[in-house]
Amino acid sequence: MVLVPTAVLVASLALVIPLAVAAVVSATALGLVQLILVWLLGIRTWPPPLVLVGFTRPRASLLVSGGLAVAALVCSLGFAQLYTMGAMALGWDFLMPPELPDGLLLPGGWVVFTALALAVWTPIAEEVFFRGFILQGLSNRWGPAPALVVSAAVFSALHLAPALLLPVFFTGLLLGYLYQRTGSLWPCIAVHAAQNLVAVLGAWFGL
């Protein structure tokens, strides 16, 4: 209830300030709101014990955790590509994932702030909120399978784009499963960051 109007509000920043600046400010603000909600609703102690939201060593070996993370990234990117190709082949333009708009990246060396906001800060904040908080909390109440589906659905819905519902839901399932298998947010953050970095690099090189 808090995140939806916050997401709409920060998204509207692009109407009054340059898009590249709005992208950095909105990503930073939304991530901050997510972390504040986790603290208010789940932790409420300072300094926060980060182990409660998954900042711990993976219980699987480094090789297994890394392999699972790479597999999750490949499956996520592959599904997004297949989904796009399917929507294009069927002529369902309304389900085509939107292209990254021109002007999304800050110019010159300032682009590093775009990369930090979208490929570092956002993955950390979203993984804490959706996997470390929502998925873990629902798992304690409902069990792992229902929690995985519901957390992925919430993750998808809060991206506020109908064409992204299915691919983001699938990514949410992969990230949730990765968290359940490893017991750690670090592999999830790595996959999320890599996927966002691919998008930033695609916009940078005009792909």
135-177 pLDDT, tens digit each: 999 998 899 999 999 999 999 988 877 888 999 999 999 999 9
- Residue % of the chain over a pLDDT of 70: 91
In angstroms, the CA 144 to CA 158 distance is 21
User: Looking at per-residue confidence, does 101 or 181 come out higher?
Assistant: 181
Alpha helices in the chain (DSSP H): 3-11, 19-38, 62-90, 111-116, 122-126, 136-142, 144-157, 165-182, 185-205
Angle, CA 172 vertex, CA 168 and CA 173 arms, to 5°: 120
User: Looking at per-residue confidence, does 203 or 81 come out higher?
Assistant: 81
**118-152 residues labelled b (16+ CB within 10 A) or e (exposed):** bbbbbbbbbbbbbbbbbbbbbbeeeeeeebbbbbb
pTM score of the predicted model = 0.91
In angstroms, the CA 150 to CA 135 distance is 8
Query: Residue 124's Cα: distance from chain center in Å?
Result: 8
Give the residue-averaged pLDDT of 121-128.
96
Compute the half-sphere exposure of residue 172: CA atoms within 13 Å on the CB side of its CA: 28
Alpha helices in 91-184 (DSSP H): 111-116, 122-126, 136-142, 144-157, 165-182
Cβ atoms within 10 Å, residue 157: 15
Q: What are phi and psi of 147, to 5 degrees?
A: -65, -40
pLDDT, position 12: 67
Query: Which residues make Cβ contacts (< 8 Å) with residue 27, sequence separation at least 6?
Result: 117, 118, 121, 122
- The answer to whether the Cα torsion of 49, 52, 53, 56 is positive or negative is positive
pLDDT, position 136: 93
Residue 6 has pLDDT above 60, yes or no: no
Cβ atoms of residues 179 and 185 within 8 Å = yes
67-80 pLDDT, tens digit each: 999 999 999 999 99
Residue with tokens 């021109």: 102
Residue with tokens 């590249």: 20
